[in-house]
C-alpha cells in the first residue's frame, strides 16, 4: 500500500456525463495511501454513522466529488447490498486505483475503528453503570441525528442540474420522507417504488 499509482487518471468527467459546471472543481486522490489515510480519518470522526462526515471530507474538503456526484454515488451505494459508506469507499477507491484503491479505502474505514471498538468492549463492563456515560452517549446520538439531517439538506443543492426538474425532485424527496419517517414503511419498498418512478421519469427526459 502507499505506492503511487501510475494511472492516476484525472477526474475530468462527472459520473453522469451531464454538463455540470461544478465538475471541473473536483480533483483526484493522489495515491492509494492518501485514500487509506482519508478514509481512516473520516471513519474516526463518524460516531453513529459516517455519512455526514463523508459528505464533508469527500465533497467539501478533499473535493474528490461534487455534491451532485456524491448524491448519485450514494444512491448506488444505498441500493446495493452491504453497508452504504463501505460501498461508497469501494466505488471511489476502485474508480481511481482499481482493486488496490478499493481495498485501501475499505481497510482505512475499518482497521482503526475495529481496534477501538474491540478495546471498548473490553472496558465496557466497568463503565456501563455510570449514568453520566449513558447520558453522554445519548447526547452524541442526538448530535449524529442532526448531522445526518443537515447532510440531507446540504445535498439538496446538488439537485439543481437534475433532469427531473424541481417539482418532481420535491415530490419524490417529500414522499420518501413521509413514507419513511411518518408511515415507517420498509426501506426496500420505498426505494423500489419511488426509485423506479424517478428512474422512469428521468429516462423519458434524457435525450436518447
Partner 1 sequence: MISLTPMDWLQLMLHFGLLSLLGVGGAITTLPEMHRYLVDRQQWLLDEQFNVSVALAQASPGPNILFVALMGWHVGLNAGGGWLAPLGALLTLGGIMVPSSLLMYATGQWLHRHRQMRLIRAFKQGLAPTVIGLLIATGTIMASAGAATAGQWPVWLIAAVATVLVWRTRLHILWLLGAGALAGAFFLA
**C-alpha grid cell for residue 130?**
455510570
2 touches partner 1 (CB under 8 A): no
Site string for partner 1, 123-142 (x = CB under 8 A): -x---x--xxxxxxxxxxxx
Judged by CB, which is closer to partner 1: 30, or 138?
138
User: Minimum distance from CB of 19 to partner 1 (Å)?
Assistant: 12
Apex CA 141: angle with CA 137 and CA 147, to 5°? 145
Taking every pair of C-alpha atoms in the chain, what is the biggest distance, in angstroms? 63
Least distance (Å) between residue 1 CB and partner 1: 17
The CA-CA-CA angle for residues 162, 179, 192, to 5°, reads 60
Site for partner 1 in 78-117 (CB under 8 A): 78-87, 90-91, 94-95, 99, 102, 106, 109-110, 112-114, 116-117
Per-residue binding letters, 179-208, with partner 1 (x by CB under 8 A): xxx--x--xx-xx--xx-xxxxxxx--xxx
Q: Is 21 in the site for partner 1 (CB under 8 A)?
A: no
Asked if 28 interacts with partner 1 (CB under 8 A), we say no
Q: What part of residues 34-53 is at the interface with partner 1 (CB under 8 A)?
A: 43-53
Q: Is 29 in the site for partner 1 (CB under 8 A)?
A: no
Q: How big is the CA angle at 86 (ends 26 and 71), to the nearest 5 degrees? A: 45
Grid coordinates standing for 151?
447532510
Q: Please tell me the distance from the alpha carbon of residue 51 to that of residue 56, in angstroms, as a whole number.
A: 9
Distance in angstroms (rounded) separating the CA atoms of residues 86 and 110: 9
**What residues between 141 and 170 interact with partner 1 by CB under 8 A?**
141-156, 158-159, 162-164, 168-170
Q: Is 158 exposed, middle or buried (0-12, 13-18, 19+ CB in 10 A)?
A: buried
Amino acid at each position: 500500500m502507499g505506492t503511487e499509482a501510475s494511472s492516476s487518471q484525472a477526474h475530468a468527467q462527472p459520473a453522469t456525463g451531464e454538463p455540470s459546471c461544478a465538475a471541473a472543481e473536483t480533483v483526484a486522490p493522489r495515491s492509494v495511501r492518501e485514500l487509506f489515510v482519508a478514509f481512516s480519518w473520516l471513519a474516526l470522526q463518524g460516531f453513529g454513522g459516517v455519512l455526514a462526515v463523508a459528505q464533508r471530507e469527500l465533497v467539501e474538503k478533499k473535493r474528490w466529488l461534487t455534491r451532485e456526484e456524491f448524491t448519485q454515488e450514494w444512491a448506488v451505494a444505498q441500493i446495493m447490498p452491504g453497508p452504504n459508506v463501505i460501498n461508497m469507499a469501494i466505488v471511489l477507491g476502485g474508480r481511481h486505483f482499481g482493486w488496490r484503491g478499493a481495498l485501501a479505502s475499505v481497510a482505512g474505514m475499518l482497521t482503526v475503528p475495529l481496534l477501538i471498538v474491540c478495546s471498548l468492549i473490553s472496558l465496557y463492563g466497568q463503565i456501563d453503570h455510570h449514568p453520566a456515560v449513558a447520558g453522554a452517549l445519548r447526547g452524541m446520538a442526538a448530535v449524529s441525528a442532526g448531522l445526518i439531517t443537515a447532510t440531507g439538506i446540504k445535498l439538496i443543492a446538488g439537485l439543481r442540474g437534475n433532469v427531473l426538474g424541481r417539482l418532481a425532485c420535491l415530490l419524490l424527496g417529500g414522499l420518501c420522507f413521509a413514507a419513511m419517517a411518518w408511515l415507517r414503511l420498509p426501506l426496500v419498498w420505498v426505494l423500489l417504488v419511488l426509485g423506479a418512478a424517478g428512474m422512469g421519469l428521468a429516462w423519458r427526459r434524457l435525450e436518447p
